[in-house]
Each structure stands twice: as C-alpha cells, then as structure tokens.
Amino acid sequence: MHVIVIGCGLAGVTTAYFLQEYGAQVTVLDRAPGPARETSFANGSLITPSHADPWNSPGVLGVLLRSLGREDSSMLLRLKALPSLGLWGLSFLRHSSQARFEASFLKNVRISSYSQSVMAALLRQHPLQFEHAMDGTLQIFRNPEGLQDALKVAHFLKQVQIRHRALTPDELIEFEPALAPIRNDLHGGISYPDDEVGNARLFCEELCRITKSSGVEFRFGEQVLRIEHRRRSVTGVVTARERLQADAYVLAAGSYSTEFTKQLGFRLPVRPAKGYSLTLPIDKTGPSPRHAVIDDELHAAVVPLGDKLRIAGTAEFTGFDRSINSRRIANLQTLLKRIYPEFKTSQEPQEAWTGLRPMTPDGMPILGTSPLGNLFLNTGHGPLGWTMACGSGKIVADRVMKKLAEFDSSPYGYDRF
C-alpha cells in the first residue's frame, strides 16, 4: 500500500514511521525545507500527561474577556480573530462546563500516557538523541489557593495513574537549587515524576533519518496546492511540482489542515492558537536549572535542553498571523527573571519563535478516519502535540493499515463533531 502523508512535523513524521513499520510505501510532503520547521520547531519541550487539561477550563470566558488589550495576558484574544472563531468559539465555550472539561481532561491523559509507552518502545529500538530527560517536572506555586486547587487536580488524576508528590518550599529548593533566590515567594510545589522533556525538532530530525533509511520518501520544499477527490474518495494530490496518487492519504498539517478539508467539502473544527518560546544559551558560571519548572501563577514553563534553556508560555487567538510580537517575547524574558532572577545567558544568539497550535473546541485531538474513505486525520492536539505525538502516529497508522488497535481511539474521532 502506498500512503501519502501531508505534513512533516511531529504528527506527520511519527505517522510515517509507524506506516513503514507496517510495510507501507510512504511519501511525506512538506512545504518547509526540512522536518519540524513550523509548530513543532521550538515548542515548550514538555511531555506531560500531568498537564493534559484542555485550555477551555471552567471560567475561560472571563479569562478571554479580561485579556483584551493586555499583551502580558497568558491567554490573549485579539478582536481581529473573532470572525474566524464563530461557531467554533461557541463550541469552545460550551465544552468549558465542569463535566465536559473533566471528561476531556481524562481522555487526554489516557492518550498521553499511551503515547509515552509507545515512545518508550520506539526508543528501545532506536536510541535517538534529542536532549531527552525522564526526571519529571516541577510545578511551583506562589499562593496557597493555587497549590490547593492543583492538589485537588493531582488527586483527581490518581484515577488514571498519574503519580505526584507535594513539596514544601524547602523541598522545592532541594529538588531545584536554582529556585533558591525566590524561596520566600514560594508556597509549595508538586513533583510529577513520570513527566519527560525533549527537543521536538531534534526528535523529528532523528526519526526522519531513521525512516528515510528504511525507505520513506521525504519531499521537502514541496507545496501541496490542492487535494483532489471524487465522491467519497481522494483521487490525488497536486503539488507545485506534479500530481501524485496513492492508496491512502494522511492529513497532518496542523492548523493548516483546515485549508485542505474545505477543498474536500467538509469542515475541520480546528483553529490556530499562537504560542511563543524563547531559547537561550546557558552561561555555566551562574546557577543552571536542572529540571523543567512550570510556574502556576505566571503560566510559564522553563525547560533545560542540553546547554540551553527554553521558556514557553502564552496563547494568542490571532488567526494565522505568525509574526513575532516583540512585546510577547519581552514578556517571556520578564517571566524568566521572576522564576530565575540570577539566571545568566551567554553572548550567543537567543532564539525567539512562534507557532500555531491546532486547537479543537473540546481540547482533544482528531485522529483516524474522515468523511472521505481513504483520507485519515492526525491533527488538533493544541499544546499537547509533543505529549501525544507517538501515540497519535501509531493510532492513525493502525487505522490506515487496518491493524488490530491496542488502544481505544474512538473518543478522538472526527465523527464526535
């Protein structure tokens, strides 16, 4: 069977890997010059089933309304994006009820944990190098209310086997000495020992190398212009170079997947949410953070990646605008100083980045079959694309190749909408 995969970020390259493992002939198309050059390029680097909660938590409407005009807001709604949100936005708010939110949260945790197990098996077979660390994450709190709310969530997650440990301020400093300068600001923390971190771009590049050596064809710098179809089946893909045909097709183009489904006569409930990160080289003469830290109050994550430090945070509903807003980057720098006031960066260039996370109204990915019989979907992961990558790739490959699934992926199908 010949399968064409559109997109070579985390979703596309993992799907291609598992397809070729099953014996498929695979062609991957991407407009970028290499793998993971867009949304997967410099994400938050976190693989965290512990933080798989959808963004539309109860009360999100108030958060969005208060964000208008505030460049320092963790979740920012720009007025120009309102027309594009429309019915999607109403559905997003409808899924923010307590019952719907908790149901989606648990489903996200289940697929995230499954994805971790799939990645572990993959890495046993291929020990890839991507600045991977398996020593958990640390969530810190600056007020007692935030800590108590988070502990309720942590206990809630016990039902899906997510381990945690509550920490006092002194235990926090013992766990992460670089936090010592803000010891008096901390009320406590939670350690999630099963979380992981890693460089998503390096992972994609490494997995691309492995799959290419096994026969997968990667065609970079090749823009897909349209997907052709007849009745309920895709008949071909037209790129800027030529027309290609296959037996099956996988759409893994992140937020841009919606452009293709419009051509095919159905709407994909995915909208872009812009995220930012800043990657800084570490000056080893100063205190170097050892662990990934998530600051509850600041809504920011700081992650050591080899000899660099990445700070990520904020979400912005601004359509498909990928320009880098200097005020949002400056806000990340401010957040970093509030977490690690004594952190020193070297004189090497800093890397500011932004990418469009593909968001669904219920905060869960869309995986598997589509209204067209030979078109399969792998998108809609929002901020959890890295956390769910390997599991999602295997789930979709299972569907394409009609393999007996080891994980019940029915809650994540397109037909739920």
Mean pLDDT, residues 151-179: 96
pLDDT tier at 344, thresholds 50, 70, 90 = confident
DSSP 287: -
pLDDT at 173 over 90: yes
Which domain CATH number covers 406? 3.50.50.60
pLDDT at 286 over 80: no
Residue 346 and residue 209 share a domain: no
Residue 209 and residue 164 share a domain: no
Question: Which ranges in 340-405 belong to alpha helices (H)?
Answer: 389-400
Is residue 118 assigned to a domain?
no
Tokens of 1: 């069977």
Q: Which helix (H) or strand (E) holds 87?
A: helix 82-94
DSSP helix/strand/coil, 16: helix
Tell me the C-alpha distance between 264 and 297, whole Å. Answer: 43
Is residue 121 assigned to a domain?
no
Interaxial angle between packed helices 98-125 and 389-400, expressed in degrees from 0 to 180 and rounded to the nearest 10: 80
Report the amino acid identity of residue 327.
Answer: R
Residue 67 and residue 36 share a domain: no
Mean pLDDT, residues 314-338: 90
Q: Which domain holds residue 298?
A: 47-80+133-196+271-359
Residue 138 and residue 60 share a domain: yes
Residue 332 and residue 280 share a domain: yes
Is residue 299 assigned to a domain?
yes
Q: Give the angle subtended at the CA of 382 by the CAs of 65 and 138, to the nearest 5°.
A: 90
pLDDT tier at 67, thresholds 50, 70, 90 = low
Mean pLDDT, residues 70-77: 71
**Number of separate domains in the chain:** 2
Is residue 104 assigned to a domain?
no
Residue 348 and residue 285 share a domain: yes
Write down which residue in 359, 376, 399 finishes a domain: 359
Write down which residue in 359, 377, 395 finishes a domain: 359
Write down which residue in 333, 359, 385 finishes a domain: 359
Contact call for residues 142 and 187 (beta carbons, < 8 A):
yes
User: pLDDT tens-digit profile of 262-273?
Assistant: 999 999 999 999
pLDDT at 64 over 80: no
DSSP 328: H
User: pLDDT tens-digit profile of 85-111?
Assistant: 888 989 999 999 999 999 999 999 999
pLDDT tier at 84, thresholds 50, 70, 90 = confident
Is residue 92 assigned to a domain?
no
Mean pLDDT, residues 15-25: 98
Residue 411 and residue 280 share a domain: no
Tell me the C-alpha distance between 85 and 92, whole Å. Answer: 9
Is residue 116 assigned to a domain?
no
Is residue 112 assigned to a domain?
no
| DSSP state string for 178-238 | GGGGGGGG--EEEEETT-EE--HHHHHHHHHHHHHHTT-EEEET--EEEEEEETTEEEEEE
pTM above 0.75, yes or no: yes
List b or e across 105-135, with b for residues whose CB sees 16 or more CB atoms inside 10 angstroms: bbbbbbbbbbbbebbeebbeeeebebbbbee
> Poorest-confidence range of 46-50, 82-86, 153-157, 400-404?
82-86
pLDDT tier at 339, thresholds 50, 70, 90 = very high
Residue 54 and residue 33 share a domain: no
Residue 58 and residue 188 share a domain: yes
Residue 28 and residue 170 share a domain: no
Q: CA gyration radius for the chain?
A: 21
Residue 206 and residue 328 share a domain: no
Mean pLDDT, residues 54-69: 79
Which domain CATH number covers 54? 3.30.9.10
Residue 283 and residue 402 share a domain: no
Is residue 97 assigned to a domain?
no
